[in-house]
Amino acid sequence: MTKIRNLLAALSLGLAVASPAAAFEPSATECIAPAAPGGGWDFTCRQVGKVMQDLKLVPGTMQVVNLVGGSGGVAFASVVTKRDSDEDLLVAASSATATRLAQGAFPGNNADQVRWIGSVGADYGIIAVAKDSPINTLPELLDKIKEDPKSIAIAGGSAVGGWDHLKVLMAARKAGVQDVRQVKYVAFEGGGEAVTQLLAGSVQAFTGDASEAKGFVDSGDIKVIAVLAPERMPGDFSSFPTAKEQGIDVVGANWRGFYAPGKISDEAYDYWVDAVQTVYTSDEWQQIMTQSGLAPLDKSGPEFQAFVMESIAEIQELSREIGILK
């Protein structure tokens, strides 16, 4: 009888010790930025990863991997098919991700195959030209497109029909361009590459987001002719006019956040939801948001999941309206 009691006590102790260890703890963490360095996804991974490191939410440094291709499609497919239970993995996402999913641009993949973690802010769109461009306002740019659509090429970091492209089409439609399909858009793998082509003179304008253009604004290489926000932004972008101020009533907000592989445990999911929420509410991140031109957007867990699904439905409706999606 004594032996049985001792055995039960040992088992009980073993269970008591094992229970806390069963809670998820990250180890070799990684964030995939589904585009080339310099763009918005790259910014999201690197800046959030650094804050997670500073706040001791991850051990050591979070590795950032740039997985280029298909405007996020290569990364999405890789996660779904090869790393669907990797609990140390986060992937940067945005309205561009929702746009491609809405339009069926990731063949065989859909939004339900991953777990949506949370947002870290909203990035309002901008339209910019090179610093020495004769174009100084958004109406000037759109007038040139109306006069001769072939004379203006606009570069962006998403695929044709992607979020960067849609923002320009929305502005063109508001300006009275009858057939927005005539607007010449050139797609690149990330905003950094798109701005590089603008500076090289290969295109006449750039469509992207405030955060990915911040470095080029600071260096004086580009001239922002419109911010697609409802009102002027605070901080470094306060000197740039909105499209609405110039008579073009369009607002384009690109949310930024993360998804994780679809088959991770609930414990790992909850950990990353809490970690991203901790980053968002930290003083460090609030300062980064102000410096980078990010606007508040605080959604996490199931609320963020619902938000993404609503975004996809809205983008499908817009895509049908302008003829990109049937």
Domain ranges of the chain: 30-122+254-321, 124-253
* pLDDT of 208 over the 90 cut: yes
The mean pLDDT value for 54-79 works out to 96
* pLDDT of 50 over the 60 cut: yes
* pLDDT of 36 over the 50 cut: yes
In CATH, which of 3.40.50.300, 3.40.190.10, 2.30.110.10, 3.50.50.60 is domain 124-253? 3.40.190.10
CA 302/CA 296 separation, integer angstroms: 18
Vertex 40: Cα angle to 52 and 93 (nearest 5): 70
Q: Which of 248, 191, 203 is nearest to 225 (CA)?
A: 248
- The model's confidence at residue 101, banded by pLDDT at 50, 70 and 90, is very high
* pLDDT per position as a tens digit, 215-240: 899 899 999 999 999 888 877 788 99
3-state secondary structure of 57: coil
The CATH number of the structural domain formed by 30-122+254-321 is: 3.40.190.150
The mean pLDDT value for 127-147 works out to 97
The mean pLDDT value for 180-209 works out to 93
* pLDDT of 260 over the 60 cut: yes
CB-based contact 162:314 (threshold 8 Å): no
Tell me, what's the pLDDT at 292? 83
- The model's confidence at residue 4, banded by pLDDT at 50, 70 and 90, is very low
The mean pLDDT value for 120-126 works out to 93
Q: What is the largest CA-CA distance in the chain?
A: 96
* pLDDT of 41 over the 90 cut: yes
Tell me, what's the pLDDT at 18? 38
Q: Which of 203, 205, 124 is nearest to 163 (CA)?
A: 124
Instruction: Determine what percent of the chain is predicted with pLDDT higher than 90.
Output: 71
Tell me, what's the pLDDT at 22? 53
Lowest mean pLDDT among 4-18, 107-121, 126-140: 4-18
The mean pLDDT value for 279-301 works out to 92
* pLDDT of 249 over the 60 cut: yes
Tell me, what's the pLDDT at 214? 84
DSSP per residue, 101-164: HHTT-STT--GGGEEEEEEEEEEEEEEEEETT-S--SHHHHHHHHHH-GGG-EEEESS-TTSHH
- 236/185: higher pLDDT: 185
